[in-house]
Amino acid sequence: MRQGLRGVLFLGLLAILLAACSSSDDDKIEGGQKYYFLESLAQVETGGRQLQSAGLDQQSLTAALANLDQGLKLAFQVERKFLDELDLRLGKNYQRYFIKGVEDYRIGIEAGDEAQQREGLRLLSQWAEFWQAERAAIQSKLNPD
């Protein structure tokens, strides 16, 4: 009887430990996703502001493009599932307007294609409309404190 009780207690303890580890891993993943999402927005915004500077020299252009590239790299790390948990429209809009807009704009700059740059800016403008309307609600879910 004691052997059976020890087995049950051991299995119960093992289940509790696994649940605790799983929750911690989920928190780390969610924290990473939060970082990728928010930092991608910040990097692209910084790059965009740098590109709007008057008298942009080659060094400033290179730094601005590096920020856009870094933001895009981070954006590709964000999982759609994470975004959809925050807002059902977020994942679709992030992919369709933010990522695609940055890609089009960045490629347009590199290729000297003004039409592609304008298309990227049009998509980013649509992202900005969505983000402006939903930002507070989404950020309150990201930072419930």
User: For tokens 């969505």, what's the residue?
Assistant: 130
User: For tokens 């059902």, what's the residue?
Assistant: 88
* pLDDT confidence band for 145 (50 / 70 / 90): confident
Task: List, for residues 21-79, the tens digit of each pLDDT value.
Answer: 333 444 555 889 999 999 999 999 999 999 998 888 999 999 999 999 999 999 999 99
**Amino acid (one-letter) located at 84:** D
What are the structural domain ranges in the chain?
30-142
User: For tokens 């059976």, what's the residue?
Assistant: 4
- Does 1 or 91 have the greater pLDDT score? 91
* 130/99 Cα distance (integer angstroms): 14
